[in-house]
């Protein structure tokens, strides 16, 4: 199933004008024939309970998401994203509107968090993974994904989007991996789904969601089981925009065009528990 949504990154209007464009540490676009130096990114979220994620690695966005019709307001509060003191980052969605946050439809009903590495870390090729335990319940929409670091220059979808993992609450046993680019974005994104055996849910324990990325190729896996590979041949002549630097994003959305709104069965707070995020890159040009 292809997610029937607009860009999860619509909050990037501000980033497009500033933070992404000023990402001075981002590697330059490499020629496919040029070996690239090995580099490793890893965050195991060690630190005292209640502390925020490392600000040298992650920045926290604030605001709502108009185009997806989401119901949350992303805050910079540690009540919505903080370490638990046991080696996890916990992103928490709460049913609240304590500060009178205004969303596209009026007063927001929920708060949550979204973090990204724009201006702090970008990757081009390699093994990108996150080990996480997902929330559960109607209306939940957790994701681990990437946006092209040239977003500020070209906008979305020309800059490209790689969804390593998305889940919607009404599919507790299924995750989706998708690419979006010019001519294949939103409901036209190209992707596939992976489902656990009957009776299991991604909220029951930790799972590893990964993409192996090389020039002209993206391969998705869950717990090491490959379920999808995409190359330029899958695009029907449209432009492949994934051979360049991307930055990472973690978020927990509530409601929206794809998952639908929470209902009476949805229990709050809900949590996306992130055990680790890592990117291992190297001479993948061969």
Distance CA 162, CA 211 (A): 9
Place of tokens 């860009």: 7
- 166 is a catalytic site residue: yes
Running DSSP on this structure, what letter comes out for residue 121? -
Q: Are 157 and 182 in contact (CB under 8 A)?
A: yes
- Which one from 61, 70, 161, 171 is the annotated catalytic residue? 161
∠ at Cα 13 (7, 16), nearest 5°? 100
Diameter over CA atoms, the chain: 55
Which residues partner with 146 through β-bridges?
A: 162, 248
- 61 is a catalytic site residue: no
> At a CB cut-off of 8 Å and minimum separation 6, what does 92 contact?
79, 80, 81, 82, 112, 113, 252, 269, 270, 271
The Cα-based distances of 7 to 65, 75, 155, 256 in angstroms read 9, 19, 11, 12
Question: Of 270, 253, 240, 233, which is closest to residue 9 (Cα–Cα)?
Answer: 253
> At a CB cut-off of 8 Å and minimum separation 6, what does 55 contact?
none
- Residue 36 CA neighbour count, 13 Å, CB half: 25
- Which one from 61, 70, 129, 166 is the annotated catalytic residue? 166
- Residue 197 preceded by cis peptide, ω within 30: no
Q: Which residues are catalytic?
A: 161, 166
């Amino acid at each position: 199933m292809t997610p029937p949504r607009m860009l999860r990154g619509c909050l990037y209007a501000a980033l497009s004008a500033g933070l992404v464009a000023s990402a001075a540490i981002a590697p330059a676009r490499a020629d496919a024939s040029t070996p690239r130096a090995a580099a490793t990114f890893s965050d195991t979220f060690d630190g005292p309970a209640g502390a925020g994620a490392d600000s040298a690695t992650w920045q926290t966005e604030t605001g709502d998401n108009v185009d997806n019709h989401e119901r949350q307001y992303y805050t910079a509060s540690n009540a919505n994203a903080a370490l638990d003191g046991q080696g996890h980052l916990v992103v928490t969605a709460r049913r609240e509107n304590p500060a009178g946050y205004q969303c596209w439809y009026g007063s927001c009903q929920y708060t949550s968090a979204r973090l990204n590495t724009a201006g702090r870390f970008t990757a081009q090729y390699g093994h990108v993974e996150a080990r996480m335990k997902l929330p559960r319940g109607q209306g939940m929409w957790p994701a681990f994904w990437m946006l092209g670091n040239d977003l500020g220059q070209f906008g979305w979808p020309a800059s490209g989007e790689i969804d390593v993992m998305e889940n919607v609450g009404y599919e507790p046993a299924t995750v989706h991996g998708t690419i979006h680019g010019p001519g294949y974005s939103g409901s036209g994104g190209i992707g596939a789904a992976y489902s656990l055996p009957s009776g299991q849910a991604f909220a029951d324990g930790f799972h590893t969601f990964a993409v192996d990325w090389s020039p002209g190729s993206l391969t998705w896996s869950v717990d090491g089981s490959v379920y999808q590979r995409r190359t330029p041949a899958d695009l029907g002549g449209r432009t492949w925009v994934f051979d360049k630097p991307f930055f990472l994003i973690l978020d927990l959305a509530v409601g929206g065009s794809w998952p639908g709104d929470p209902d009476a069965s949805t229990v709050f707070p809900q949590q996306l528990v992130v055990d680790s995020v890592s990117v291992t890159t190297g001479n993948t040009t061969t």
